[in-house]
Amino acid sequence: MADAVLPALIGALTRQVTFLEVRTPAQRGDYFEAVLSRGDLPTCENVLVASLGQPVKAFGRPATLAPAHQHSVNKLGGVRGNQCLFLKAMDASVVAYALLWPWESDPMRVTIKVGHFTA
């Protein structure tokens, strides 16, 4: 199921959001990393909500994750208070994720990472 969801999500993001920098090719299909302007964040969030549902950790809110998910999120670099995390179970063991990380050095930029992990 992740094989269908992630390429569709990545395609929707690349069609609807203007990225300042794309760090991975969208054609890869299983992982996407890019930088967007904070002004494009509402559009990006709408695309993510449509595909993955509401964030499990919104900007400025604490995160409470299942231990298996917390371990996997930690491997991705964790999620801080000023960051946002979306998770969606694709099947019994595969979880799709999207992370939104605002830059501390330039508050007008946000890194997005989309992929999946095995829980």
Q: Where are the domains of the chain?
A: 2-118
Question: Rounded distance, CA 111 to CA 103, Å?
Answer: 7
Tens of pLDDT along 14-61? 999 999 999 987 677 789 999 999 999 999 999 999 999 999 999 999
pLDDT, tens digit, 9 for 90 and up, residues 28-41? 778 999 999 999 99
pTM greater than the 0.85 cutoff: yes
Q: Which residue has the tokens 């992630």?
A: 6
For 83, the 3-state DSSP assignment is coil
Structure tokens at 69: 């998910």
Alpha-carbon separation of residue 107 from 3, 82, 119 (angstroms): 33, 11, 32
Whose structure tokens read 């199921």? 1
Contact 97, 69 (CB under 8 A): no
